[in-house]
Amino acid sequence: MSCSTQKGGQSEQFLKKIQEATSAATLRPNTFVPKQRTSNRPEENGSKTSRKKPKMNYVELTDQAVESMRDRDPDEPVAMINLLKFRDVADPNLGLETTSGRDCYFGHYIAGVPPIANRLEIGHSPLYLNDVNSCFFASTGEDWDYLLVPQYRSRRSFIEMITDSHYQELLKYRSGALVNSRLIECVNEKPEGYPLHLNASLPADPIIEQPGLFKDPRVNEINDRDAEQPTDMLNLVRLAGTTKPNGGVDNMSGAQGYEEYRKGVTDLYAERAGVKITWRAFPVATLIGPSDELWDEALIYHYLSRSRMLSMFTDYEDYRVNHLPKRNASIVDSRLIETTVGR
């Protein structure tokens, strides 16, 4: 998933790739169609023993977030993980009548970016874009429709684009298209001081392994999709300072323990589950989202088929005994988000 840094025409290529992807998603027979979802999580079912975290939606990029970017290397290439939840119908104040949030986002916001990007020569290209199918590990209220990851030639280029007056005019279409979102700034190389968030406050609703994962209707919708279709998993992890005991990685840093897990999975399950890592980056900030959602690693794992992926996840003789405990011992928070096959 490398990206080009050529200038002229790059933004048109960016838009064309998105248009092709969204058109293909409309036609692809196995594309996920969102359903009314329920959950087995206690806090969503009214359990008196639950810790209910109020649902909040995040759409706007704050001035504070932009200013925080200025404190980091302006010439460093950055990738931006966009997790998007579309409105059923775009904000009526936009005057688009019954236009869906999805069509508003791609047809008005994304379509308006290339002229601005070309004028500014920001050098951006899509690393990944696709529909989200299931949130395997996610906090209360998280439910995404689309994953988009563009890369920019430099942090300076990104800041120049988002502060441009013409781009600012476009933002009404982004805001009017979305009900919730995340924007996570990533870099290609391990940043100095990695892992970056060891001294930050712990998340209010940490997700290490989803309770009752394979009983959750949101996850079990995977059974309604083509078992032999290739699939991808976006993994977001926040590392522990030191590993928890009895996970097979005792007396290690969280970074060392997670590396043991990552190597074990990719080495042993490369043939068995057809798994490989197609993209790895290092988040440095959550620009749009809760302040306690802080990540150290972002990875996209590709599986040759859903059936192979599930065979690994449900392997109680090896994976869940010898590998998953290493992961769980090494992290303090995570997300696991399934998408259709990447392009």
DSSP 3-state of 151: strand
Domains 10-41+57-187 and 213-340 share a fold: yes
Q: Which of 289, 208, 204 is nearest to 254 (CA)?
A: 208
Out of 18-27, 69-78, 263-272, give the one with best mean pLDDT: 69-78
pLDDT, mean over the chain: 84
170-190: pLDDT as tens digits: 999 999 999 999 999 999 999
CB within 8 Å of 267: residues ≥ 6 apart: none
Q: What is the pLDDT of residues 267-296, one digit of tens each?
A: 989 888 899 999 999 999 999 999 999 999
* Extents of the domains making up the chain: 10-41+57-187, 213-340
Confidence of residue 224 (pLDDT cuts 50, 70, 90): confident
Average pLDDT score over residue span 231-256: 97
Predicted confidence band of residue 21 (pLDDT cuts 50, 70, 90)? low
* Confidence (pLDDT) at 278: 94
Task: Tell whether the torsion through CA atoms of 287, 128, 326 and 50 is positive or negative.
Answer: positive
Fold of 10-41+57-187: Alpha-Beta Plaits (3.30.70)
Q: What is the reported pTM?
A: 0.85
pLDDT greater than 70 at residue 141: yes
Contact 130, 21 (CB under 8 A): yes
**What pLDDT score was predicted for residue 204?**
85
Instruction: Report pLDDT for 342.
Output: 47
**What is the secondary structure of 225-276 as a DSSP string?**
S-TTS-EEEEEEEEE-SBPPTTSS-TTSBHHHHHHHHHHHHHHHHHHHT-EE
Any idea which of 128-142, 250-264, 323-337 has the lowest mean pLDDT? 128-142
Is 155 a residue whose pLDDT tops 90?
Answer: yes
Q: What is the pLDDT of residue 222?
A: 76
Of residues 15 and 148, more confidence is placed in 148
- What per-residue confidence (pLDDT) applies to 8? 47
Q: Mean per-residue pLDDT for 232-251?
A: 96
Does residue 34 surpass a pLDDT of 80? no
Over the stretch 192-223, which tens digit does the pLDDT of each residue have?
A: 999 999 999 998 889 987 656 666 666 677 77
Across 24-33, 80-89, 198-207, the highest mean pLDDT is recorded for: 80-89
Give the C-alpha separation, 223 to 195, whole Å.
Answer: 36
Q: How confident is the model at residue 127 (pLDDT cuts 50, 70, 90)?
A: very high
Q: Are 43 and 53 in contact (CB under 8 A)?
A: yes
Burial 286-295 (b: 16+ CB within 10 A, else e): bbbbeebbbb
pLDDT of residue 12: 60
- pLDDT exceeds 50 at position 254: yes
66-70, 193-197, 234-238, 310-314: the lowest-pLDDT one: 310-314
The fold of 213-340 is: Alpha-Beta Plaits (3.30.70)
pLDDT of residue 248: 96
pLDDT digits 0-9 by tens, 298-335: 999 999 999 999 889 888 899 999 999 999 999 999 99
